[in-house]
Structure 1
């Protein structure tokens, strides 16, 4: 690089006095993804300080900045005429415009090959550094100047396309979540089985409610406290299709169990240890056994609080958006127990377990949970067992529940598949820009023009011109700048 650049230096080594406004003063975090993020600038200096800092060498359009300390390896070509200064952690490169295009050089410095070279020479413990001397010795693959510009133009076109693709993919999670919520809302309005109901005669939801009540009474002595009591009455009537009923969650349960809170080691238990789950074990739609803490005193464990496959778990405490998160436990292999903030629902009949799971995740279910949760801070809310029991649940016949769940879970599975595909494509796009740069500097991105003057010929002419001009005069010492802020 020393051959193709007129100067390789760095920013100020002194701490300038900062102002509330004025001329931007850049730090490494302002150089992101090959761009100067002017809107992220948080430090400014006066015009007098700027003049003193840039007396030695002033950054201008056509220069290249390179992060050289700490988060090293990011370059940007200056394409703006505004005045600015920057810290010493940023290298200041003035390319010889007769030999190398600034954008071409910046793109190469951001390429996998340049990164590999930077990793090889970076030294330091707390903050690794690519020294100016190291940078000067980087060997740059040099194409003829017209070809450099064609390469930059092609890179920009391809990177713009990949950026647009990333932006489109970035909108997908929101769109997917909206679609998921709309399907859940439709399921519990009866929209997914409107045709099914029109073709089906004689569904007896009232008879099935009586059957659930009988099962509840039969199982009550095993899990309930005292004699079996009547279910709580519905306080929040829901609009439901003809042939459906509205009941309370209490009518479907024979018990709610919780665990205990005590000091544990903040790590998942090993195979021969026991653990207590965290709230996060049930937060994200699937039971995560690794979100657990290791019990150090087994005497504190309640055997009745041990988690089993098929358990319905419900988070009674979390943020307003996550309180009431629920899962049905699938396969796991650790010895785990309930915490005091995660409840287990014991249903009168497992026939309604998945129905309740999806309803509590639906817009109407979330509305009720959030409305019944309490707490002075939005960062942590709680919903008590009495409020949980009073949640209103729409209930069609057993046959219609099966029909709705079949359609609902098939569509939700398709959504999850789309989500995975979007994530995979996002991962591929994350490496696409680097692949484009690697191809560009292997000479595979644009065709060569035999009419272009070879870079080797140009370099020889520049060397001859420099030799004829003699050594450049030495500059004086850097001016001092008053410290502050």
Structure 2
């Protein structure tokens, strides 16, 4: 530990003042509630200074329950909550208040500044959690005897005031910078969505079309080519199946009988029952069902995965902004599962069920490592000759697809769902393969630049957190302000 100035001393929390616990007046007695006295609970501890609380109680409640009055200027600390797994909420109450049983208050004598003690607790937050926290299954708690014996460096009273003033001035400057960085981060998110919207309205490649007019056809020609490609693939699959079936019979029908390929789903020429207004498309483009570019979507494995195993199983949480996040993986070693659900490079995965804001998230698997996909995901099985995986992935993450998804999802108690049939009926903007490639090229370039800028913002936010910790460390080792 850093040596303290000669005028400082280490003191235990048990030496500072009086600890006051909380209590809950009977909810069955209406005379106890909706009164003028703040009744602070963990949900109020999101600010550094408490001036009011969500709930209030009456003087009668204080007189006839376990709730005790806490004097203004006391330091409040959450001592029981799931948030203690990573954070220690601390505040100073500016008004006389009461607490629920998940908080404790430290009422301080003259000569010890409450703001100083609160900042000291924040400076040693992680150390307090490490030494005083008792873990539970879902709720953690602070063991008060351990907290009472925890030591904090104490400066002379006048220096306490100067330290607090310096900390708050420096933190205000950092907060302004952080606010600007967070605004820039939000703006980047809006920029990404604007790019995707422009891409699938044809505006992103307007110059390309002007220079490549000879590569553009009519919507009728484009749809005819798509249907021809689907028919050709089906006929090829039938021929392959018939050859495999003949060989299977010639071998005495040993092993599994080859499965006959399914006939491609037919879709009407016109999109039906749309609840959103689709943008007009440029010459050479057309809206049609997404299912036209798929050989038939399929769900992933429903088998239970494990923390370890031979092959990772991609789950909904691994779909992040169009890419696969390889952190927090689950695994399987089942050979049948691996054979049936292994991913191929270029596979597009669609998240079909989760909370409403997460349904429809889509990412592309690029073959980074062998992997399977879980049952909550749909493999689109796009036909590459009709549409590329990156083009499809970008569209399904676009504002147009998101807006449509909100109109067709089925809402349950805690989650929403978009099944494979509804996915095939999505409106999809078809254009030539050459223009798809140009759209993907432009989006890759611009979004990679946005990702790089976001990484710089995140690094700056990390530095801001580190700077706060550095300031607190200096403050409580006597190095932030002079000792005069």
Using the size of structure 1 for normalisation, the TM-score is 0.72
| Aligned match for 1:79, one of 94, 100, 108 | 94
Change beyond 3 A, Cα 1:209–1:45: same
Cα shift at 1:8:
1.8
Instruction: Return closer, same or farther for 1:363/1:75 CA change in 2, 3 Å cut-off.
Output: closer
1:359 pairs with 364, 373, 395, which one?
395
Q: Would the aligned equivalents of 1:312 and 1:344 in 2 still touch at CA under 8 Å?
A: yes
Alignment of 1:13-32 (within 5 A): 19-22=32-35, 23-27=37-41, 30-32=44-46
The answer on whether the counterparts of 1:373 and 1:384 sit within 8 Å (CA) in structure 2 is: no
Q: Deviations over 1:75-124 (max 9, x none)?
A: 544433x4546759524232323xx4432333234323x864x4686486
Check the 8 A contact 1:248/1:389 in 2, yes or no.
yes
Residue 164 (str. 1) matches residue 179 (str. 2)? no
* 1:403 corresponds to: 438
CA distance in 2, matches of 1:90, 1:189: 57
Residue 432 of structure 2 is aligned to residue 392 of structure 1: no
Residue equivalent to 1:60:
71
Measured after TM superposition, the shift of residue 199 of structure 1 is: 3.6
Q: Which has the larger radius of gyration?
A: 1
Quick check: 1:65–1:77 contact (8 Å CA) kept in 2?
yes
- Does the CA contact (< 8 Å) of 2:39 and 2:99 recur in 1? yes
For residues 65 and 412 of structure 2, the distance between their equivalents in structure 1, rounded to whole angstroms, comes to 54
For the residue of structure 2 that corresponds to 1:90, the secondary structure is strand
- Residue 446 and residue 344 in structure 1: after superposition, are their counterparts in 2 closer, same or farther (change >3 A)? same
Aligned-partner Cα distance in 2 for 1:133–1:407: 57
1:107 aligns with 2:144: no
Which residue number corresponds to residue 110 of structure 2?
Answer: 96
| 201 and 277 in structure 1: CA distance in 2 versus 1, 3 angstrom threshold | closer
Cα 1:219–1:302 shift into 2, 3 Å: farther
Q: Quick one: distance in 1 between partners of 2:108 and 2:147?
A: 15
1:25–1:84 CA contact under 8 A, matched in 2 = yes
- In the alignment, the residues of structure 2 paired with residue 417 and residue 31 of structure 1 have an alpha-carbon distance, to the nearest angstrom, of 35
Counterpart secondary structure, 2:215: coil
Matched position secondary structure for 1:331: coil
Q: Which residue of 1 aligns with 2:233?
A: 219
CA distance in 1, matches of 2:358, 2:318: 12
Choose which of 145, 152, 164 in structure 2 pairs with 1:152: 164
Q: 1:343 aligns with which of 359, 364, 379?
A: 379
Instruction: Note if contact 1:244-1:396 (Cα within 8 Å) is conserved in structure 2.
Output: yes
Separation of aligned partners in 2, 1:439 and 1:76: 21
What is the CA deviation profile of residues 128-170 of structure 1, one whole-angstrom value per residue up to 9, with x for unaligned ones? 42439945x8353424x44432222121111222333344444
- Residue by residue over 1:185-213, the C-alpha shift from the partner in whole angstroms, topping out at 9 and shown as x without a partner, is 11122222223333443223346655544
Contact 1:95 1:102 (C-alpha < 8 Å) held by counterparts: no
Answer yes or no: is the 8 Å Cα contact 1:269–1:334 preserved in 2: no
In structure 1, list runs of 5 or more residues that go unmatched: 450-485
Q: Does 1:252 align with 2:293?
A: yes
In structure 2, runs of 5+ residues without a counterpart are 1-9, 239-260, 273-277
Q: Deviations over 1:259-310 (max 9, x none)?
A: 4654x33425512xx56544444465323466776557655x4845432222
Match of 2:204 among 145, 169, 192: 192
Q: What's 1:463 paired with?
A: none
Distance 1:284 1:318, change over 3 A: farther
How far apart in 1 are the matches of 2:24 and 2:207? 74
Report the equivalent of 2:342: 306
Within a 5 Å distance, the mapping from 1:236-247 to structure 2 comes to: 239-247=280-288
- Residue aligning to 1:461: none
**Aligned partner of residue 202 in structure 1, secondary structure:** helix
Structure 1 contact 314–325 (Cα < 8 Å) conserved: yes
Which residue number corresponds to residue 304 of structure 2?
265
Whether the 8 Å contact between 1:155 and 1:436 is mirrored in structure 2 is yes
Matches within 5 A, 1:377-388: 379-385=415-421, 387-388=422-423
Are the aligned partners of 1:313 and 1:326 in contact in 2 as well (CA < 8 Å)?
yes
Please give the alpha-carbon distance, in whole angstroms, between the structure 2 residues aligned to 1:88 and 1:383.
Answer: 43
- Name the SS for the 2:38 alignment partner: strand
In the superposition, relative to structure 1, how do residues 269 and 290 fare at CA in structure 2: closer, same or farther (>3 Å)?
Answer: farther
Indicate if the aligned counterparts of 2:382 and 2:388 stay in contact, CA closer than 8 A.
no
The SS at the match of 1:411 is helix
Against the structure 1 CA distance between its residues 303 and 441, is the aligned structure 2 distance closer, same or farther, given a 3 Å change threshold? closer
Does the aligned pair in 2 maintain the 1:257–1:344 contact within 8 Å?
Answer: yes
Q: Is the 8 A contact 2:216 2:284 kept in 1?
A: yes
Q: Kindly tell me the number of residue pairs found equivalent between the two proteins.
A: 433
